[in-house]
Amino acid sequence: MVNFKPVLFMASVVLRALALFMIAPLVLAIYTDGHGVSEFFKSIIITTIASGLFWHKGRSKVFKLGIREMFLLTTGVWIIASAFAALPLMLIQHISYTDAYFETMSGITTTGSTVLSNLDSTAHSVLLWRSILQWLGGIGFVVMGVAVLPYLNVGGMRLFQTESSDWSDKNTSKTQHTAAYVMYVYLSLTILCYFGYLAAGMSSFEAVNHAMTTLSTGGYSTSDQSMAHFSNAAQWNGTFFMFLGGLPFLLLINALHRRDISMLFKDAQIIGFAKLVLTMTVMMSLYLWHKDVFSFSDAIRISMFNIVSVVTTTGFGLTDYGTWGEFTTVLFAALMFTGACSGSTSGGIKIFRFQIALTLFRKQMSQLVHPSGVFRQHYNGRNVNDVIVRSVVAFGSAFIATIVILAAILSIIGLDPITSITGAITAVANVGPGLGPVIGPSGNFASLPDTAKWALSLGMLMGRLEIMTVLVLVTPAFWKG
């Protein structure tokens, strides 16, 4: 039987932290225009009471986390956190709970899709709260990618299993130390990004918000024009820190700890990620320059920004790349699937799965030529066993199937094909904007029916938690004793 007590207890801890973080926009509201003071105060009270109730129901002298509890905990906490984080948005913006939950789920999963418009005139407390949600979601997913998903062997993540992924009692302290190091590096990079934006001409408020949503590869902005509202220097700063957000944080921590940055240039994931960004940037820059869409320097800046934004699933908008022509539309649609490195803040399929698929393809080709030969698969100097290969194949199949089913649901609801297909892709891959006039970089998701928003919210959750973590909860085997 599944033990719900650890889930309830952890939910109480998360809600208590959520209530504490609500104090920041509350204080900002008090010292600025006063818009949102009572609403944030009410939300803090409700969230704190709920946290107390969960704690009362979930407290226990001894907690034993089995594999079922870990799966349920991973999914349940994100759903509950989104449910209460939506309260301030609903109360202040006077939007439906559906819209508020969609916005919050998009924030916490660092997707970046939005139902809000007129951001330039939106209360500062609301803008700060959206950015905080993405920042918290980013650090939460990094810790999950380092410590939880390898333990659960979701989608081949066991390939990255370390001592910090071992949830036995003897390694609890190592897991805690790893989480602390991740937080330190994450916070340090956010501060550096903040100063970079300040130097590029942003105000302090704009820099704080964009630093949080850049490092988390979330993509929420304080302006309807997104990053197009700011200077070229700010866009270069955003490109650099989005790229850093797409790196594997555990490897980054090890490189800093050993003072050996060369480690980063030996990792197969990082090499593949960098090659993808550079190759796509060169191709797109030459295409846009040849078509006289932009000057050569602008083509490089705009291409690299948009490519890094999409590959890292940040979703910042610079210009509507859907209007550049059929070639760029197809290219960006493909890049939406990709994602950056495992153990980063980005969503998507992740680079390492494509690389493992390539090694499997090479092995299969060699096997056809030499049927009696024995060929081993290696990745980053480690042996890739059949368990990891099966997990990667299962994840890829589930990822594509989820997008197809979600796109079919959206089309049944009445959305046009471009909105349905790219909406499903952008939700499951946690990219943010889709393609087309409705949900493209120049639009938003406000006009979609409520049913579509709930379906997309589920898609965002499944994509952020690597699909299988959520799907396993609906299998009969999970609930059997």
State how far the Cα of 220 lies from the Cα of 114, in Å rounded to an integer: 8
Q: DSSP letter string over 318-356?
A: SS-GGGS-HHHHHHHHHHHHH---TTSS--SS-HHHHHH
The reply to whether 111 sits in an annotated binding site is yes
Find how far residue 239's CA is from the centre of its chain. 16
State how far the Cα of 64 lies from the Cα of 406, in Å rounded to an integer: 36
pLDDT band at 162 (very low <50, low <70, confident <90, very high): low
More reliable by pLDDT, 468 or 179: 468
Helices (H), 165-203: 172-199
pTM for the model: 0.90
More reliable by pLDDT, 149 or 261: 261
What torsion, rounded to 10 degrees, do the Cα atoms 430, 434, 440, 446 define? -70
pLDDT band at 347 (very low <50, low <70, confident <90, very high): confident
The reply to whether 36 sits in an annotated binding site is no
pLDDT confidence of residue 167:
46
The reply to whether 218 sits in an annotated binding site is yes
Mean pLDDT of 422-436: 89
Arithmetic mean of pLDDT over the chain: 87
- Report pLDDT digits (tens) over 353-372: 898 888 888 888 888 888 87
Mean pLDDT of 189-195: 97
The reply to whether 431 sits in an annotated binding site is yes
What is the residue extent of each domain of the chain? Answer: 380-478
pLDDT confidence of residue 363:
81
Angstrom distances, CA of residue 61 to CA of 9, 58, 232: 11, 10, 56
Of 106, 105, 87, nearest to 96 by C-alpha is: 87
Residue 91 tokens read as 């109360």
Contacts of 378 (CB under 8 A, 6+ apart): 359, 384
Share of the chain above pLDDT 90, in %: 50
Mean pLDDT of 242-254: 90
